[in-house]
Amino acid sequence: MRYERPRASAVLFASVVGATTVLAGAVPAASAAPSPKVQNPGLEKVGGGLPSCWARYTTGNNTGTIGTVKGGQKSARGATVNITRYRGGFKALLQSTNCAVKVTPGKRYDLQLAYRSTSGKTALTVFRQKKNGKWVKWHTFPYLPAAKGFRLSVGRTPPVPAGTRAVRFGQALHDTGTLTTDNYKIAPAKGTAKCVGSECTKGHWTVEDFGDGGVRAIHSVLLHNGKVLLIAGSGNGEARFRRGEFVTKVYDPKTNKFTNVPTPYDMFCAGHVQLPDGRVLVVSGTAEYAGYAGGVTEDGIPYTYEYQGWRGSRNSYIFDPKTNRYTKVNDLVDGHWYPSATLLGNGDVYSVGGYNYARGGDEESVVSPYSERFSWKTRRWLGDAAVPETGINWATYPSLVLAANGKLFYNGSSVFSYPRYYGNGNIVGPGYLDPNTGAYAELGGTPDNPNDNAGLRYPYARDQSAALLLPPAQDQRVMVIGGKNFADPNGTGLRATDVIDLRKGAAARYAKGPNLPYGTVEIGGNYTPQGGGAGKVYVSAVILADGTVFETGGSQQNRAEHVHEASILDPSKATAAMKWKPVASDPVSRTYHSSAVLLPDGRVLAVGSNPDIPVPEDGNDSYFDTRISIYHPPYLYKKGEAPKVTKVVKGWKYGAKPVITTSAAITSASLVRPIAVTHSSDPNQRSVRLPVKALGKNRYRLTLTGNRNIAPPGWYMLFVKTKSGKPSQATWIHIG
């Protein structure tokens, strides 16, 4: 850390999320302050190259300048922070120590300033002075978007901790770019906390660009340490496959850094699921790329062999977040390229589908006929004789959701084609698979009837759709979102969504859900809109911390005609009353091989994109976008301070009634299973409602379901929510 003392008085401010920064300075007088005031708030008085009562502050590894600039918000001067080289930390302008703002412990304060910035990584940050005179970072608000013209940055502080003597605040810059600020204000909190601009209702995005240091993230898994496992394998690059260049990285959203993980084989297009102990089971992957083998005759004439399809690997490994290492488990019965992977209520993992190891007699890709089951008790895959077969060609990544009855509900969503019966080739309609017997029962009456799909619209156009169990899991409503018929060259992505209530048993049928709100997008060529206008394929769907559902990314065509728009759905309403609310759009195009993950702090990470873009013949194979986007949902800006769980037992048994203590009054609580997603598919994603009973003094008794099929064993994120709808950051809880 570098600190520059100004001539007259000054200090610049900074903010590093998740870290504590200590500032040296004089001790201001008095801890009680009925009328807090920012001195020289408009930055008009200048001394020593800086506004009087202000100072430069820098921490971390970055290069740049801080000084005055002509043309403030509504005045002659403002202050500018400029970073030309960035490796970490921040720069900021902050009140100097002898001009710090006196505050009263226990009170909350509303802060405000005007800013404009070329960077979307700038945040209002507050420091406080402890009783011993030392300064520490106290609170950082979410990043704000870039702004060409001046806009406000506002925030309401938490209650001032006991022993605090004064505070300093300002806007910190955490990236290369230029930030200009002006007109600082502070006042005791009254009424409703303010937010400013579109983030109040739509949230906003920031983007991290890693250049060549990024990762081709095909698979994304939130680990119970808050980091994200990103698996590329060969990353859809045949040259990488031939070189044995297989990649896994662990990304830390707090530090914005990667850790490289040795990857033992090509996990590209594998399946994966989180085991009850929080480790990640990886299922199959790539044994051979598809393509045409070729050569040259003795006469120098080039030729090609027949087409050879993809081959799935028999390998399976477990990733341990404690060591960042893979360990091998026994091989699968067959290869499964694009397999399902669903956790059962007893901790076992069930998997079907995906291309086999041997290929077919004509060398085309062939879906494996084998069902696979990983035993949690023995930590091994069971043999062929121990797992009953289904008699179904399950295609690739069939979406099988564990239902409350312990069976797997196939909801009609898959990737590239759809399941068919081996006997007659008819499409498999939505229904229940019994993992213990292999029996499959379609909803809607007659099995093997291609015209009866339990009310699911466009059953042949649900390739690469998203499907999830809507919150709360107890309501047993499954939604299918978007998709496309890849057999139709003129078809485009669906706007359609459909919802089924599994509590209705054998009588359950899909009902029309709300269309995605993107019908006005122009479509070129001869594309035929399906489902009421231009929609999405390769869409990502994420359960948020407040129990709503967020959809983002996707494209109208196969890896082309991207749809940046995103929206949020409130699933607490009846199906007919549900509606998608448009929110801020990801600046990065997200299509094939993209995914989105809810982080423990309530933000959403979006990663990956493998559009059909020609690239130079430089050995990089297909184009891949390695930038990471972070979405800040609007609930981060709701009034009041986010509640915190201050006391809780972190190991829960089924049917338990744990008592928690919170920092503020709450109205609801839920457990969200950390996401493990690839190709728009995570059948294990769910949010479990926890009934809340108030015990007084911010103590609450929660009730966990006794049904292991509602909440399969493992690690979950506990979120609590205030009356205003503002959720806490997650507390990790182990179930089972």
DSSP assignment of 397-422, as one string? S--EEEPTTSSEEE-S-BBSS--EET
For the chain, percent of residues with pLDDT exceeding 90: 74
CATH 2.130.10.80 positions along the chain are 207-298+311-637
pLDDT confidence tier of residue 586, bands split at 50, 70 and 90? very high
From the number of C-beta atoms within 10 Å of its C-beta (0-12, 13-18, 19+), residue 406 rates as middle
pLDDT at position 29 over 80:
no
pLDDT at residue 8, as a whole number: 33
From the number of C-beta atoms within 10 Å of its C-beta (0-12, 13-18, 19+), residue 34 rates as exposed
Token pair for 599: 């982080």
Closest CA to 567 of 544, 588, 545: 544
CA 279 to chain centre: 19
User: How many of the other CB atoms lie within 10 Å of CB of 447?
Assistant: 14
Dihedral pair phi/psi, residue 167, rounded to 5°: -135, 160
Dist. CA 53–CA 410, nearest whole Å: 65
pLDDT at position 279 over 80:
yes
Q: Are strands 431-433 and 440-442 parallel, antiparallel or unpaired?
A: antiparallel
Mean pLDDT of 254-283: 97
Torsion over CA: 635, 637, 638, 640 (sign)? positive
Closest CA to 660 of 465, 303, 670: 670
Dist. CA 82–CA 91, nearest whole Å: 8
CATH 2.60.40.10 positions along the chain are 645-735
Task: List strand residue ranges (DSSP E) for 544-691, in order.
Answer: 549-552, 555-557, 560-562, 566-569, 580-583, 595-598, 604-607, 628-632, 645-647, 651-652, 659-662, 668-672, 676-677, 687-689
Q: Could you tell me the CA-to-CA distances from 498 to 355, 413, 422 in Å, in that order?
A: 28, 11, 27
Cα maximum dimension of the chain: 95
Dist. CA 461–CA 531, nearest whole Å: 10
Dist. CA 201–CA 197, nearest whole Å: 8
pLDDT at position 614 over 80:
no
Token pair for 199: 């983030």
Mean pLDDT of 418-442: 94
Q: Which position has the token pair 């559009």?
A: 611
Token pair for 147: 């702004």
DSSP string, 451-463: T--TT-SSGGG-B
CB 100 within 8 A of CB 28: yes
CB 587 within 8 A of CB 205: yes
Q: Which residues contact 361 (CB under 8 A, 6 or more apart)?
A: none
User: Per residue in 467-524, pLDDT tens?
Assistant: 999 999 999 999 999 999 888 877 788 999 999 999 999 899 999 999 998 743 333 3
CATH number for 207-298+311-637: choose from 3.40.50.720, 3.90.79.10, 3.20.20.140, 2.130.10.80: 2.130.10.80
Dist. CA 395–CA 312, nearest whole Å: 13
Asked whether the bond before 41 is cis by omega within 30 degrees of 0, the reply is no
pLDDT at residue 360, as a whole number: 67
The terminus-to-terminus CA distance of the chain in angstroms comes to 45
Q: What is the 3 state secondary structure string of 326-395? A: EEECCCCCCCCECCCCEECCCCCEEECCCECCCCCCCCCCCECCCCEEEECCCCEECCHHHCCCCCEECC
Mean pLDDT of 453-475: 94
pLDDT at residue 128, as a whole number: 97
pLDDT at residue 644, as a whole number: 95
Q: Could you tell me the CA-to-CA distances from 506 to 392, 445, 453, 502 in Å, in that order?
A: 21, 8, 13, 8
70-84, 88-102, 264-278, 355-369: which range is least confident on average?
355-369
Helix/strand/coil for 74: coil
**CATH number assigned to the domain covering 2-197:** 2.60.120.260
pLDDT confidence tier of residue 364, bands split at 50, 70 and 90? confident
Q: Which residues contact 526 (CB under 8 A, 6 or more apart)?
A: 490
Q: Which position has the token pair 């030392």?
A: 134
pLDDT at residue 546, as a whole number: 97
Q: Are strands 316-320 and 325-328 parallel, antiparallel or unpaired?
A: antiparallel
User: Per residue in 522-557, pLDDT tens?
Assistant: 333 333 444 445 689 999 999 999 999 999 999 988
CB 398 within 8 A of CB 371: no
Q: What angle do CA 482, 486, 489 make, to 5 degrees?
A: 115
- C-alpha neighbours within 13 Å on the C-beta side of residue 346: 13
**Continuous segment of H or E residues that includes residue 241:** helix 238-243
Q: Which position has the token pair 């940055």?
A: 153
Q: Could you tell me the CA-to-CA distances from 235 to 129, 231, 293, 593 in Å, in that order?
A: 49, 8, 21, 9
pLDDT at residue 523, as a whole number: 37
Dist. CA 261–CA 279, nearest whole Å: 15
Provide the mean pLDDT of the chain: 89
Q: Pick the residue with more confidence: 681 or 446?
A: 681
CB 196 within 8 A of CB 152: yes
Q: Which position has the token pair 């506990």?
A: 718
Closest CA to 352 of 330, 336, 328, 329: 336
Q: Pick the residue with more confidence: 722 or 5?
A: 722
Q: Assign domain 645-735 to its CATH superfamily.
A: Immunoglobulins (2.60.40.10)
User: How many of the other CB atoms lie within 10 Å of CB of 22?
Assistant: 12
- C-alpha neighbours within 13 Å on the C-beta side of residue 262: 6
Q: Which position has the token pair 């769907």?
A: 541
pLDDT at position 337 over 60:
yes
pLDDT at position 304 over 60:
no
Helix/strand/coil for 276: coil
DSSP annotation of 202 reads: H
CB 544 within 8 A of CB 491: no
Q: Could you tell me the CA-to-CA distances from 455 to 168, 325, 411, 482 in Å, in that order?
A: 60, 45, 11, 15
Mean pLDDT of 353-363: 82
pLDDT confidence tier of residue 75, bands split at 50, 70 and 90? confident
Token pair for 70: 């002509």
**Continuous segment of H or E residues that includes residue 200:** helix 199-202
CATH 2.60.120.260 positions along the chain are 2-197
Helix/strand/coil for 163: coil
pLDDT at residue 10, as a whole number: 31
CB 364 within 8 A of CB 376: no
pLDDT at position 49 over 50:
yes
Q: Which residues contact 474 (CB under 8 A, 6 or more apart)?
A: 404, 688, 689, 705, 710
CB 367 within 8 A of CB 395: yes
